[in-house]
Amino acid sequence: MALAARLIDVEKTYSIGPIEVPAVRGVSLDIEPGDFMAIAGPSGSGKTTLLNLLGVLDTPTSGTIEIGGASTGGLKPKTLADFRNTHLGFIFQTFNLIPVLTAHENVEFPLHLKGISDNAERSQKVEEILEDVGLAGLSDRRPNELSGGQQQRVAVARALVKEPTLVLADEPTANLDSVTAEEIMALMKEMNEKKGTTFIFSTHDPLVMKHAVRLVLLRDGRVESDNAGEGNGHGT
């Protein structure tokens, strides 16, 4: 089976006027289908940059990024957008739900983007995934009528509804209390086990790191350690 994602010697250097900021400095990683992987490391170590590269929201300065066996280099913006809609789900630190839409409508949105035109098919997928994330009965609420943890559950449902190859989450628990953070991690793990979806999330939080099956530590834009294959259940 194709890898969920592969980074080969990826570098990203930002330019601020004449100043060059090396953010990712030669990262190579094979991400297996079904990985549940945390990217940890100090502030500024390149976690968000790496997730943005994996999400094809940004392009590397050099190196290759493959998602689901397909290279993402040199694709046009429209093709990249289609690629994201098909293959990738995103979960953000600040939930990023659309405030005027209900939970149901927020989760339905990516299905519109994916071009599923059958109303009944969309509705069924949305209600199923909302039930999976424990929000059956709350589908008509708007984000401001939900708790932070419930909003993040909507965001998890929104990321999963189109059955992506890979879900990327940048500090998904940073705005949650520790009990709710544990619940969101348990939910993501459950979805990982039930649906086989690959998850990559960044975190500062040791409580979140302990849920990871695979833990990659970044320092100064490089992989400092990676426990893949160290009897951690990876690939099993």
Ligand X SMILES: Nc1ncnc2c1ncn2[C@@H]1O[C@H](COP(=O)(O)OP(=O)(O)OP(=O)(O)O)[C@@H](O)[C@H]1O
Q: Which is nearer to ligand X, 204 or 234 (CB)?
A: 204
Cα end-to-end distance, the chain, whole Å: 14
Q: What's the gap between Cα 13 and its chain centre?
A: 22
Closest residue to Mg ion, judged by C-beta, is: 48
Which one, 191 or 216, has the nearer CB to ligand X?
A: 216
- Tell me how far, at minimum, the Cβ of 59 lies from ligand X, in Å: 13
In whole angstroms, give the CA distance from residue 39 to residue 203.
Answer: 6
User: Cβ 203 to ligand X, closest distance in Å?
Assistant: 9
Nearer residue to ligand X within complex by CB, 130 or 181: 181
Question: Which residues form the interface with ligand X (CB under 6 A)?
Answer: 14, 16, 21, 23, 41, 43-49, 204
Measure the CA–CA gap between 236 and 233, rounded to whole angstroms.
5
Q: Which is nearer to ligand X, 33 or 44 (CB)?
A: 44
* Listed ranges 40-48, 94-102, 186-194, 212-220: which one lies at the site for Mg ion (CB under 5 A): 40-48
For residue 214, list its beta bridge partners.
Answer: 37
Binding site partner of 49, from ligand X, Mg ion, none, Cβ cut-off 5-8 A by kind: ligand X
Question: Of these partners, Mg ion, ligand X, none, which one is at the site of residue 110 (CB under 5 to 8 Å by kind)?
Answer: none
Give the residue from 51, 57, 4 showing the smallest Cα distance to 23.
51
**Number of C-beta neighbours around residue 146 at 10 A:** 19
Q: Which of 3, 33, 48, 141 binds Mg ion (CB under 5 A)?
A: 48
Residues 115 and 112: their CA atoms lie apart, in Å, by: 5
Binding flag, residue 93, Mg ion (CB under 5 A): no
Shortest spacing between CB 8 and ligand X, in angstroms: 19
In one letter, which amino acid is 83? F
Shortest CB 16 distance to ligand X, Å? 5
16 interacts with, out of Mg ion, ligand X, none, CB within 5 to 8 A per kind: ligand X
3-state secondary structure of 182: helix
Q: Is 205 exposed, middle or buried (0-12, 13-18, 19+ CB in 10 A)?
A: middle
**Residue whose CB is less far from ligand X, 53 or 160:** 53
**Closer CB to ligand X, 23 or 160, in the complex:** 23
Dihedral over alpha carbons 56, 7, 198, 143 (to 10 degrees): -30
Binding site for Mg ion (CB under 5 A): 47-48
